[in-house]
Homo-oligomer: A and B are copies of this chain.
């Protein structure tokens, strides 16, 4: 039984604690920490977990085998370094850090240690819709991918949602999953703003069309639409030499009523990815227990930061092609 310490007892932290406790095998939450220590007690006491007010103490608790970090992004780096120094595996929610430099620094420390300890929380890789697509691509049956188009549509966002957040809170998932699907390296990014919806905060750019060009020439287009009104809707269509693959939608009943045949759409992202989160954490527990992490690693965290930063520059310079300057994947991370 893997003894897990959870740093950060907010919404996502509580969800992971809940799934480890009630739905997954092989793990047990033995410690929790939060700066807001009362929140940590609310979560940890019913489990009999040790409660800490800071991550360092939790990480260094000898009863903690592995750490899950769900703090706000700016605080990830510190906790990850603590885990690396303690030689303990850490699952860190995305993004790994808030800058490419910081993520690269973590990757370098980890490489120096010579052991993969970091997994980054890109849950789509564990979603069974994506893994089916990945298997098909890897089978070679469809030939080389040529271009693809993803849409990432939310029914609506809060007023505080900014143009930049369309990169770090939405497209970041496509950024990770696309290079993983294609076994590709990115070369450059470009953003177009089409006609804007009236159903949004005036400062926000919405929708946005982002193009990422890969080293092989593949163009990946990501449509982010934050206030589409009708539901949470994720699409991915990959055009290959021998055929086209469309990511499946979640299974929902076909309903005949009121003049039409309707398949409902999810209302929000949480239900959509619930199962992928379960599979992600189960896989991490299994991998830690087996002694070798295989999920998205620190280098994937670096790629995400560098690519996201290029998209942020591309947002500032509509139409300009911004290089995505990330070196080849080190052997350590292959």
Contact = CB atoms under 8 A, between A and B. Distances in A.
Interface in A193-232: 193-199, 207, 209, 211, 214, 216-219, 221, 223, 225, 228-231
A251 B129 contact: yes
Interface string A255-268: 11111111111010
A273 interface: no
A147 B207 contact: yes
Total copies of this chain within the assembly: 4
A286 interface: yes
Interface stretch (A47-55, A136-144, A162-170, A307-315): A136-144
Contacts of A262: 260-263
B252 A248 contact: yes
A239 interface: yes
A196 B218 CA distance: 8
A132 interface: yes
Interface stretch (A21-29, A94-102, A103-111): A21-29
A312 to B, nearest CB: 20
Interface string A61-103: 0000000000000000000000000000000000000000000
B259 A22 contact: no
26 contacts: A22-B286, A23-B25, A23-B282, A24-B25, A136-B253, A144-B197, A146-B225, A196-B217, A199-B242, A209-B219, A225-B239, A229-B242, A229-B257, A230-B244, A230-B256, A230-B257, A231-B259, A243-B257, A248-B253, A249-B251, A256-B265, A259-B265, A260-B262, A260-B263, A260-B265, A319-B321
Nearest first, the 7 A-B pairs at minimum CB distance are A243-B257, A195-B217, A248-B251, A147-B194, A246-B254, A194-B219, A244-B256
